[in-house]
Each structure stands twice: as structure tokens, then as C-alpha cells.
Amino acid sequence: MATKEEYPLKKVLIICAKGNLEDVYAALVMANGAVMEGIETKLFFTFFGLDAITKKRMNNLHTATVGNPALRMPGGLPFPTLLGMLPGVEAGVSAMMRKEMDKLDVPPVKEFLEMITAGGGEIYACKLAADMFKLKKEDFTEEVVDIITVGQLYEMSGGIGTQIIFV
Amino acid sequence: MAEKIVAGRTIQVNEEGYMTNPSEWTREIAAELAKEEGITLTDKHYAVLEFIREKALAGETLTIRKIGTSGIVDMKEFYQLFPGGPLKLASKLAGIPKPTSCV
């Protein structure tokens, strides 16, 4: 009889390259979930994803109200793109989404990063993107361990049972 | 489902070792189960376990954030008290079902 061998996940590297609310939260939920499972976790932010760790922007991320076909009005009707264009609508919709998530005990970005690092997870920023957006270590929240290159990222990715997840 | 004798009592556990009847739980059972996981329970551990039991038995969905904001332990302490998978481990030792929340 063939035996089925299981190789448990030991380490995850989660890369977040987008700065909208839903993609940042996808990365944060996955990272925090991994930490909670006792999996070694490294979270790497690049390009627009840097918004999630930039002090000035991290707690005010938006979800797109234009060009987002899955967005619905409360009640389920499609969200009209023309409405999404109006000033303040995107901010309002995003604030509402953050509020709904808070009800489910999904914390604001800063607190989420604190939770991940409290459990031993590590947060990194991408050097190339930081240079491009002219961001320095002091622009980032203190949970960020370091600004690293893609080479350094791969150096961290060794070992059996490691997975890289790109958000 | 299986039966297991822990601290002189017979308890019902599922295939993952979670107790299926929370009313069978005692502090002695928790201590014994913790020993299997390599943990010696302190008052701080018990305070967390009792908090978890109280919330779970009241039907609340447990999240790691609720524990971090409970005033009993902060997040870092929680990870130190129950190393590895703190919410799962603490739930197991508290005699309640495996947590079903994503946060």
C-alpha cells in the first residue's frame, strides 16, 4: 500500500505589490494566519504595496470605486461607475469597508502589523520600490525590519517546506 | 471520536485531540494536556484559558485579537505562553473546539 507523505509548510514569504485595501488585507490575513499556525512568516511589500507600511498612508487605504466590477451597493445592486467617480465616494466606501472588517475583529493595518510581528513575523520593504517612491526607513512604520533587495529576499527563501505567495 | 483518560477522568476527544464536551474540563485536565504539549501551566495560562472558555461558551467567535485586547495578556505574551499556534493550542487546553476564525 502506498503511503501518503505530508510535508508541512514551514515558512512562507508573502509579497504584496498592491496598495488597495483588499489586496493589502489579503496579504495581512494570510501572514497573520501563518504566524498563528506557527509557520515562519516574512511579509515583503513592494511598489504600491509600500502604502501599507508607509506611516502617512497605512491606515487610510482605499478600495477602488471605479473599474471595480465586483463592487456592490449595500443591498447587492451593482455600484455605478459614474457614482464612484464623485469626490469623496471612494473614501466613504473605503471607510465603510474598514468599519465592516473591524466588526469581524480584523484590525486596522498598523495594529495588524503589530500582531504579526508580536508573533514573530517579519516585515520588509523593497529597496527598488522605496528608491523609486523616494521613501526612507523613517517613512515606514517601525514594524518594518529592513529595506531589502530581491536578492536578499531569495536568500531568505531557502529550505524545504517554503512557499512564496504573491499578492 | 475517542475516549481518553486524563488526570484520572475519562474525556471525549476528537481525532485532533480537542475535547468535544467542554463541561468535562477541569484545571487538572488542562495541566495534563499541557504537559503533553511540553507546557507547564502558570496562573497566567489559566487566566487565558478561563477567558477563552468564558467567551467560547458564551458563543462568541474567538479571534487572536480578542485575546490580545483582553487585558490579561498582550499578543507577544500570548505567543510566549502558548508557543507555535497559540489560539489553537489554547483552545485545545481550554477544552473548547478548534477555533474557526481567520483572524
- Search chain A and give the residue with CA nearest B60: A104
Q: Which of B22, B35, A144 is nearest to B11 (CA)?
A: B22
DSSP letters, B13-59, are: E-TTS-BS-GGG--HHHHHHHHHHTT----HHHHHHHHHHHHHHHTT
Distance CA B22, CA A63 (A): 42
Half-sphere exposure of A154 (CA within 13 A, CB side): 3
Q: What percent of chain B shows pLDDT beyond 70? A: 100
Q: Work out the angle between the directed axes of helices A21-36 and B86-93 (0-180°, nearest 10).
A: 50
Say yes or no: ipTM exceeds 0.85.
Answer: yes
Question: Is A110 strand, coil or helix?
Answer: helix
* Cross-chain residue pair A32–B101, CB shorter than 8 Å: no
The C-alpha atoms of residue B31 and residue B7 are separated, in whole angstroms, by 9
pLDDT at A74: 86
User: Using CA atoms, how far apart are residues B58 and A123, in angstroms rounded to an integer?
Assistant: 36
A15 three-state secondary structure: strand
Check if A120 contacts B (Cβ < 8 Å). Answer: yes
Q: Does B86 touch chain A (CB under 8 A)?
A: yes
pLDDT tier at A3, thresholds 50, 70, 90: confident
How much is the mean pLDDT over chain A?
Answer: 95
Check whether A13 has a pLDDT greater than 70.
Answer: yes
Give me the DSSP letters along B85-97. Answer: SHHHHHHHHTT-P
pLDDT of residue B7: 87
Residue B88: pLDDT over 90:
yes
Residue ranges per structural domain of chain B: 2-93
pLDDT digits (tens, 9 = 90+) for B60-70: 999 999 999 99
Nearest CA in chain A to B68: A115
- Band (pLDDT 50/70/90 cuts) for residue A1 is low
pLDDT band for A4, please (50, 70, 90 cuts): confident
Interface of A with B in 25-84 (CB under 8 A): 29, 32-33, 36-38
For residue A125, pLDDT beyond 90: yes
Mean pLDDT of the region A106-113? 96
Instruction: Look at residue A167 in the predicted model and tell me its pLDDT.
Output: 94
Strand partners, B2: B13
Asked if A118 has any chain B CB less than 8 Å from its own CB, the reply is yes
Cβ–Cβ gap B75/A120 under 8 Å: no
Overall average pLDDT of the A99-106 stretch? 92
| Average of per-residue pLDDT across A143-152 | 97
Q: Do residues B64 and A115 lie in contact, with contact meaning Cβ atoms separated by under 8 Å?
A: yes
Per-residue pLDDT at B21 exceeds 70: yes
- Name the band, by pLDDT with cuts 50, 70 and 90, for residue B103: confident
Parallel/antiparallel/unpaired status of strands B2-6 and A162-166: unpaired
Residue A122, SS3 per DSSP: strand
The whole-number pLDDT of residue B101 equals 87
pLDDT digits (tens, 9 = 90+) for A76-95: 999 999 999 999 999 999 99
How confident is residue B83, by pLDDT bands cut at 50, 70 and 90?
Answer: very high
